[in-house]
């Protein structure tokens, strides 16, 4: 896994309110998630507390671009940091190296880590238990600021104030994220089939390379 450099985010976020990491682990087929929770996850949480994280959500990916992946053992983790340097310092620490060693028997590769500057923190998710994640990259060029402006203008009329927009700080990941949380899976599913939501997703696919993920999530008691 690479410890990437931070780049200046493009103009577009009205105000940067938070630093959120989105983690996509790569579990081996057949490995039960709870097998990795008895020791490795509590250890990870202990080390993240030490760097002052502000919040965490963990969950399971249920849908990937309209394909049901609920049986594929795909997890996700969202972690809010007080600042980007806390994330990078943790990645370079011996504690993180030890954590990777603790879970290596249950994964096929190091996790995919994405760090975003976002318009809101995890407090906007509250106690919601379902999440939509839209990852978008320019189809050509690297005009992330222009793409973000277009995405916001398209998304806000449909998603309203509940949408959280983010800009990826990893230099090799030229992408933005849109997060939308829901009270439960039923509410998420109902929202996802509404004509306005489907029209928005179609518009976003036209202007960007898009990955649309749906997930069940739970709040982690950090402190």
Q: Can you tell me the distance from the alpha carbon of 146 to that of 165, in angstroms, rounded to the nearest whole number?
A: 14
For residues 107 and 3, which has the higher predicted lDDT (pLDDT)? 107
Report the half-sphere exposure of 40 (CA within 13 A, side-chain side): 17
| C-beta separation of 105 from 35 below 8 A | no
pLDDT tens per residue across span 190-202: 999 999 999 999 9
User: Which domains are seen in the chain, by residue range?
Assistant: 18-219 (3.30.70.100)
For residues 172 and 47, which has the higher predicted lDDT (pLDDT)? 47
Between helix 94-103 and helix 84-91 the angle, nearest 10°, is 60
pLDDT at 81 > cutoff 70:
yes
Instruction: Judge residue 166's burial from the number of C-beta atoms within 10 Å of its C-beta, 0-12 exposed, 13-18 middle, 19 or more buried.
Output: buried
What is the pLDDT, as a whole number, of residue 142? Answer: 77
pLDDT tens per residue across span 84-108: 999 999 999 998 888 888 888 888 8
For the chain, give the percent of residues with pLDDT over 70: 89
């Amino acid at each position: 896994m690479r410890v990437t450099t931070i780049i200046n985010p493009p103009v577009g976020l009205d105000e940067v309110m938070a630093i959120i990491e989105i983690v996509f682990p790569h579990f081996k087929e057949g490995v039960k998630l709870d097998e990795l929770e008895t020791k490795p996850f509590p250890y990870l949480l202990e080390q993240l507390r030490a760097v002052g994280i502000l919040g965490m959500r963990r969950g399971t990916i249920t849908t990937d671009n309209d394909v049901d992946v609920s049986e594929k053992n795909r997890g996700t983790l969202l972690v809010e940091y007080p600042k980007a340097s806390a994330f990078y310092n943790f990645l370079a620490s011996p504690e993180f190296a030890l954590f990777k060693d603790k879970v290596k028997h249950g994964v096929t590769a190091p996790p995919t880590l994405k760090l975003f500057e976002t318009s809101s923190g995890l407090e906007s998710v509250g106690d919601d238990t379902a999440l939509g994640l839209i990852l978008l990259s320019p189809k050509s060029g690297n005009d992330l600021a222009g793409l973000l402006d277009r995405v916001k203008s398209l998304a806000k009329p449909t998603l309203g104030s509940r949408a959280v927009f983010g800009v990826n700080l990893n230099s090799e990941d030229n992408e933005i994220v849109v997060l939308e949380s829901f009270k439960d899976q039923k509410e998420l599913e109902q929202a996802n089939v509404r004509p306005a939501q489907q029209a928005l997703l179609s518009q976003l696919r036209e202007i960007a390379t898009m990955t649309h993920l749906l997930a069940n999530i739970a709040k982690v008691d950090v402190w």
